[in-house]
Amino acid sequence: MYSFSLMYVMKFEIVTFPILYKVSLLGLVIHFEFSEFQKFGRMASSSAQGQVIGCHNNEEWTAHIQTNKLVVVDFTACWCGSSRYIAPFFDGIAKKMSHVIFLKVDIDELTTVAQQYKVETTPTFLFLKDGNEVDRVVGAKREELNETIAKHLPS
């Protein structure tokens, strides 16, 4: 849900809160309200062709891996330079391959999932089929990531 409203006031203020953004400048108040909060760019990108889906809790994780499609998971961290470096490349692959499910998991947010799959460094790319790990790529290795995805695509 997104809402937008304008009001006229005679003061200058900037108020921020994770869900509600309100900016008053030169007598014009612009009020934005968002139902979703984006922190450190963690929200997943999406497009009509394909998307990277952000998993923020165990229920979302479980729902997305219960499929017979190839699932590619980017275990990332907002503080990791290598994760930030590879993110646009990962998003680009997702846009080209709508028949593959691409997930993004922040290891500091879903620590139980990261521990379950023994993720020790970021980025780690996990490849799942029917909920089972079939491969992994550790590090921001573009070529290896491309080759591993191609290896597990149906012929």
Instruction: For tokens 């499609």, name the residue.
Output: 69
Q: Does the CA dihedral 43-95-101-114 come out positive or negative? A: negative
Question: pTM score > 0.95 for this model?
Answer: no
Asked if residue 91 has pLDDT above 50, the reply is: yes
User: How far from chain centre, in Å, is Cα 48?
Assistant: 16
Taking alpha carbons only, the member of 60, 50, 46, 42 closest to residue 113 is 60
Sorting pLDDT into bands at 50, 70 and 90, what band is 150?
very high
Average of per-residue pLDDT across 36-41: 34
Instruction: For tokens 């149906």, name the residue.
Output: 154
**What tens digit of pLDDT does each residue of 71-90 get?**
999 999 999 999 999 999 99
Asked if residue 11 has pLDDT above 50, the reply is: no
Asked if residue 142 has pLDDT above 70, the reply is: yes
